[in-house]
Amino acid sequence: MEGEIVLKGLGLIGFGLLFIWLGITGWRSRREERISIIEAAILKATDAEPQPLGRWDRIWAYVQPVLQLIFGTLMLLGGIAILSLLGE
């Protein structure tokens, strides 16, 4: 039972660090126009041009990194809290 709790705590810490890293890189590149890998493959197969970014895309470029930083921090703190409770 204790091994499962340790694994969950380490998993939360790992995913928290991943979300924080993705949030930082997303914040740095939020002004770049980019498309997903799937969209690039579809455009290549159909020889089409990508659509210009809409208002929602530009808003989401700011919101997504902020959410990743918030939830990454919460997961990291949750994982640390779980592991620290095992020491008591």
The model's pLDDT over 24-80, given as tens digits with 9 standing for 90+, comes to 999 998 888 777 788 889 988 998 888 888 889 889 889 999 999 999 999 999 999
Q: Pick the range with the lowest mean pLDDT from 4-13, 14-23, 28-37.
A: 28-37
Phi first, then psi: what are they for 5, rounded to 5°?
A: -70, -40
DSSP strand E in the chain: where?
A: none
- Domain assignment present for 84: no
Q: Pick the range with the lowest mean pLDDT from 19-23, 40-44, 50-54, 81-85.
A: 50-54
User: Which pTM does this prediction carry?
Assistant: 0.80
- Domain assignment present for 42: yes
Phi first, then psi: what are they for 31, rounded to 5°?
A: -90, -5
Q: State the total domains in the chain.
A: 1
The range of the structural domain enclosing residue 64 comes to 16-77
- Domain assignment present for 38: yes
- 34 DSSP 8-state letter: -
Q: How many other C-beta atoms can be found within 10 angstroms of the C-beta atom of residue 80?
A: 14
- Domain assignment present for 56: yes
* Rounded Cα–Cα distance for residues 39 and 75 (Å): 30
- Domain assignment present for 4: no
